[in-house]
Amino acid sequence: MNFAAIITLFHPEQSPLLNNIDLLCQAGWTVVIVDNSPDSHQHWFSANIHYLQFADNAGIAAAQNSGLKLAQQLQSDFAMLLDQDSELNESFIAALMMRTQKACRQFNQLAAYGPTIVSQFDHRAVKAGFQKPIKSDDGFLICRQIIASGMTIPLSVINDIGLMEEGLFIDGVDHEWCWRAQQKGYVVVCDSETSLLHRQGEERKRLLGITFKIGQPLRLYYQYRNILVLLRRAYVPLYWKARNLIALPVRWLVNRFFVADSTLRGRYISAGIKDGLRARTGRYKTDK
């Protein structure tokens, strides 16, 4: 079986990225780099690395789609999506290859396999707060959704499920694809026996016993807008809709009064709400 890794970049750090690529190449993987940075990083990579660039930032969904289509052209059987801020090691790569193929044998209609995500902030496993996964055999968990980094897709399912929704641009892209796959009868699984160290957000803020992920102010536009866009869709889980309807005002309070750049954050939230109510998708109009 041939595996490809699709790594999406945006102003990356060189050393950890090259370490990940070296490990993947040593394991015989095809590596596709999709760079959303304005400046090219192609000179970092050897000739055997496939490099695509969108200097005006096409968004994570478009970047992933370009990588998936190239992986199909290169006749890969599986493609792992990877963020630039995840950390690989030899044992993880070997385990992912073995466990992905095992999941394919165990589950008919497998849409995607994902490892357990471990936060770089506290080195604890990231667990679902509301919708608990269903335990299956051999350490696999049937999930409603998994995050993109580490998500490994049998490329044969793409023609049926479709590619990532480019109109969402960034936030919610991975979850929407998982829900759409399940609507078509596919299964998404997470692996309790394999873990990936991954960074989510720029920092953490703890208030009243609750830990909030704090990212760049612009991300709030996409988060609020895409939640309002996805709330309208019948295949989006009810628990997710209810949780986010409760969380949106709480997150507004945190970002407006308890973190830096609060005024700017408020403007992005307002713009996201306005465009979400209008069902507007695509790139933020002044995000250059």
Per-residue model confidence as pLDDT tens digits over 250-275:
999 999 999 899 999 999 999 999 99
Statement to judge: residues 189 and 59 lie in one domain = yes
Q: What Rg do the C-alpha atoms of the chain give, in angstroms?
A: 19
Statement to judge: residues 181 and 247 lie in one domain = no
Strands (E) located in the chain: 3-9, 30-35, 50-53, 78-83, 86-87, 110-119, 134-135, 140-143, 152-154, 187-198, 203-207, 210-214
Statement to judge: residues 216 and 193 lie in one domain = no
Task: Fill in the amino acid letter for 224.
Answer: Y
Q: Are 105 and 209 in contact (CB under 8 A)?
A: no
Statement to judge: residues 70 and 147 lie in one domain = yes
Residue 114 covered by a domain: yes
Residue 86 covered by a domain: yes
Instruction: Say what the pTM is.
Output: 0.94
Instruction: Say which range, 143-152, 159-168, 200-209, has the weakest mean pLDDT.
Output: 200-209
Query: Which of 198, 219, 244 corresponds to the end of one domain?
Result: 198
Residue 26 covered by a domain: yes
Task: Tell me the C-alpha distance between 103 and 200, whole Å.
Answer: 26
Statement to judge: residues 270 and 134 lie in one domain = no
Q: Is the pLDDT of residue 287 over 70?
A: no
Those residues whose C-beta lies under 8 Å from the C-beta of residue 191, and which sit 6 or more positions away, are: 99, 103, 113, 114, 115, 116, 139, 140, 141
Which pLDDT score, from 0 to 100, does residue 203 have?
A: 61
Task: Tell me the C-alpha distance between 139 and 159, whole Å.
Answer: 29
103: alpha, beta or left, given left = phi > 0 and alpha = psi -120 to 50?
A: alpha
- Tell me if residue 185 falls in helix, strand or coil: coil
Statement to judge: residues 78 and 208 lie in one domain = no
Q: Which two tokens mark 65?
A: 């789609």
Q: What is the mean pLDDT of the chain?
A: 93
Domain that holds residue 150: 3-198
Which pLDDT score, from 0 to 100, does residue 288 have?
A: 40
Task: Tell me the C-alpha distance between 104 and 109, whole Å.
Answer: 8
Query: Which of 168, 198, 228 corresponds to the end of one domain?
Result: 198
Percent of the chain at pLDDT > 90 equals 86
Fill in the DSSP letter of residue 122: T
Statement to judge: residues 19 and 79 lie in one domain = yes
Which residue has tokens 């490892």? 115
Statement to judge: residues 57 and 180 lie in one domain = yes
Residue 213 vs residues 101, 199, 210, 255, 268: alpha-carbon distances, Å: 33, 11, 10, 10, 16
Tens-place pLDDT, residues 96-137: 999 999 999 999 999 999 999 998 777 788 777 667 899 999
Task: Tell me the C-alpha distance between 75 and 246, whole Å.
Answer: 44
Q: Do β-strands 3-9 and 30-35 pair in parallel, antiparallel, or remain unpaired?
A: parallel
Residue 286 covered by a domain: no
Task: Tell me the C-alpha distance between 288 and 284, whole Å.
Answer: 9
Statement to judge: residues 187 and 236 lie in one domain = no
Number of domains in the chain: 2
Residue 282 covered by a domain: no
Residue 287 covered by a domain: no
Instruction: Say which range, 17-26, 200-209, 231-240, has the weakest mean pLDDT.
Output: 200-209
CATH code assigned at 156: 3.90.550.10
Statement to judge: residues 251 and 268 lie in one domain = yes
Statement to judge: residues 164 and 225 lie in one domain = no
Report the Cα–Cα distance between both ends of the chain, in Å, rounded. 40
- 24 band by pLDDT with thresholds 50, 70 and 90: very high
Statement to judge: residues 189 and 249 lie in one domain = no
